């Protein structure tokens, strides 16, 4: 049976409140329903928490030494309002890289979460360039 779609990403954190705040502020992901696991964490939903399925699972309570990068390089999302997104990152002093795909025109915005996970947000080519 072939796969049908990407279901979710899972990240590890030693600071759940900071991680939840980061993803809510920069991607509008909010915690929602989660099974009663024996370990702390959260499941984050798109569309300000109104999304049907969780797209980011956060496992908390891990020591900093366990927050290591594996073979997956980054997680990518599709977003809107590139100028406002860049303005928020600048206001928080978050370093980012913005580039445009040659021939396609799609904007790609890269930055890191508080745990060192690389986040990509893609924006439609019709989005205006940030100030």
Per-residue confidence (pLDDT) for residue 29, from 0 to 100? 95
**Which strand ranges, in their side-by-side order, compose the sheet holding 75-79?**
75-79, 118-123, 107-112, 96-100
The owner of tokens 């997104």 is 85
Full-model pTM: 0.86
What confidence score (pLDDT) does residue 84 get? 95
**Rounded mean pLDDT of 94-108?**
95
Mean pLDDT to the nearest integer, 10-31 = 94
- To the nearest whole percent, how much of the chain has pLDDT over 90? 75
pLDDT (tens digit, 9 = 90+) per residue, 36-87?
Answer: 999 999 999 998 878 888 999 999 998 888 888 777 779 999 999 999 999 9
The confidence score (pLDDT) of residue 52 equals 87
Q: So what's the pLDDT on residue 51?
A: 81
Domains plus CATH for the chain? Answer: 1-62 (3.30.720.120), 73-131 (3.10.180.10)
The model's confidence at residue 91, banded by pLDDT at 50, 70 and 90, is very high
């Amino acid at each position: 049976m072939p796969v049908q779609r990407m279901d979710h990403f899972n990240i590890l954190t030693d600071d759940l409140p900071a991680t939840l705040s980061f993803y809510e502020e920069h991607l509008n992901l909010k915690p929602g329903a989660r099974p009663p696991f024996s370990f702390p964490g959260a499941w984050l939903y798109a569309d300000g928490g109104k999304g049907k399925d969780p797209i980011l699972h956060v496992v908390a309570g891990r020591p900093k030494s366990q927050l290591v990068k594996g073979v997956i390089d980054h997680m990518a999302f599709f977003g809107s309002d590139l100028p406002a997104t860049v303005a928020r990152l600048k206001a928080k002093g978050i370093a980012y890289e913005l580039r445009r795909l040659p021939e396609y025109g799609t904007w790609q915005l890269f930055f890191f979460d508080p745990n060192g996970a690389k986040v990509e947000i893609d924006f439609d080519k019709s989005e205006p360039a940030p100030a």
